[in-house]
């Protein structure tokens, strides 16, 4: 057994998280990939937000045979599961359609500096959604996977250049693949209850970036009356939002601060509403005096 050297790595980023890293992911090789890794003497090492695949340098000749048997390329396919079940709420790409799954392939990758992006746009988009029964996923998902769905799937092809020896190919820096998911964008809707509901009030962005529309008074399901405000634009959901919204009472001479810092949107306070004829995600936030 010789030293293990890195063949490639995969990292996953997500705009919802403060550090930009999507942790707590489980990368599960499909059956064919697991068999290949075991037979070729490779090992997988988990990282904070991805994994690295290593090969045994002393088994180069065996690796050559594997490449010959497989037409000059090795396919590594993985199903990715997320332990946090709220991921579909704070992630932009995931829809309510269970027949679609984000799928990524190194064949459709984009070189970006010293890394390789596994999707066409700067963040994962609807272009990466594939039907569960598509040819791309047919040999990757098992019958059980169709019942307990992974969050997404990916395939990395190792295809050495024909005009160079395998040793020369492996001497190059290992490929660094990555995925970047975007946070869900929602309209923030504040409901002012209690004495706030009877005031002339406004919501102000202390950073002067986001405006709010004052809506009609609404009656809630428990018959309470509320004064409602909704952001003029959709706002990205964040693990720790930097938004600084303030509630002020509008007076004849000057405004008075009622709530110095309004709470930010939570991932589980989400609804679907129609705005300008389009169904959009709305974060509902209730404020009582």
CA separation, residue 196 to residues 232, 261, 283 (Å): 21, 15, 20
Q: What gap in Å lies between CA 104 and CA 178, rounded to an integer? A: 10
Q: Using one digit for the tens of pLDDT, what is the confidence trace for 97-141? A: 678 999 999 999 999 999 999 999 999 999 999 999 899 898 899
Cα atoms in the Cβ-side hemisphere of radius 13 Å centred on 80: 25
Domain extents in the chain: 4-181, 185-287
Query: Is the pLDDT confidence value at 183 over 80?
Result: yes
Q: Token pair of 102, please?
A: 């984000």
Q: Using one digit for the tens of pLDDT, what is the confidence trace for 227-238? A: 999 999 999 999
Which pLDDT score is estimated for 97?
66
Q: Using one digit for the tens of pLDDT, what is the confidence trace for 13-58? A: 999 999 999 999 999 999 999 999 999 999 999 999 999 999 999 9
Pairing status of strand 175-181 against strand 4-14: parallel
What backbone torsions phi and psi does residue 167 show, to the nearest 5 degrees? Answer: -60, -45
Closest C-alpha among 195, 5, 16 to residue 93: 16
Kindly report the average pLDDT of the chain as a whole number. Answer: 92
CA 90, 95, 99, 102 torsion-angle sign: negative
Q: Max CA-CA distance within the chain? A: 84
Query: Is 0.85 topped by the overall pTM?
Result: yes
Token pair 């190919």 is at which residue? Answer: 169
Looking at the DSSP bridge assignments, the partners of residue 77 are 155
Q: What gap in Å lies between CA 288 and CA 208, rounded to an integer? A: 25
Question: Which one-letter DSSP state was computed for residue 72?
Answer: T
Closest C-alpha among 108, 101, 107 to residue 134: 101
Q: What's the chain's Rg over C-alpha atoms?
A: 25
SS (H, E, C) 145-156: HHCCCCCEEEEE
Q: What gap in Å lies between CA 48 and CA 44, rounded to an integer? A: 13
């Amino acid at each position: 057994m010789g030293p293990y050297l890195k063949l490639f790595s995969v990292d996953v980023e997500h705009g919802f998280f403060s550090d930009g890293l999507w942790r707590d992911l489980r990368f599960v090789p499909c059956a064919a990939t697991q068999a290949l890794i075991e037979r070729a003497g490779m090992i997988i090492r988990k990282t904070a937000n991805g994994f690295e695949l290593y090969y045994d340098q002393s088994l180069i000749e065996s690796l050559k045979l594997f490449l010959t048997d497989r037409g000059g390329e090795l396919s590594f396919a993985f199903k990715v599961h997320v332990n946090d079940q709220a991921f579909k709420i704070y992630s932009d790409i995931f829809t309510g359609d269970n027949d679609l799954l984000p799928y990524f392939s190194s064949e459709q990758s984009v070189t970006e500096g010293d890394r390789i992006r596994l999707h066409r746009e700067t963040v994962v988009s609807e272009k990466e959604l594939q039907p569960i029964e598509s040819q791309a996923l047919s040999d990757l998902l098992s019958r059980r996977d169709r019942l307990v769905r992974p969050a997404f799937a990916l395939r990395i092809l190792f295809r050495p250049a024909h005009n160079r020896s395998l040793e020369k190919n492996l001497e190059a820096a290992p490929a660094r693949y990555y995925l970047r998911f975007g946070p869900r964008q929602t309209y923030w809707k504040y409901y002012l209850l209690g004495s706030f509901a009877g005031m002339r009030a406004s919501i102000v962005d202390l950073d002067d970036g986001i405006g709010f529309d004052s809506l009609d008074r609404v009656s809630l399901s428990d018959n309470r009356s509320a004064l409602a405000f909704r952001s003029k634009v959709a706002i990205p959901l964040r693990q720790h939002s930097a938004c600084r919204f303030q509630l002020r009472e509008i007076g004849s001479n000057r405004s008075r601060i009622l709530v110095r810092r309004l709470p930010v949107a939570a991932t589980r306070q989400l609804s679907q509403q129609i705005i300008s004829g389009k169904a959009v995600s709305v974060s509902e936030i209730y404020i009582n005096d």
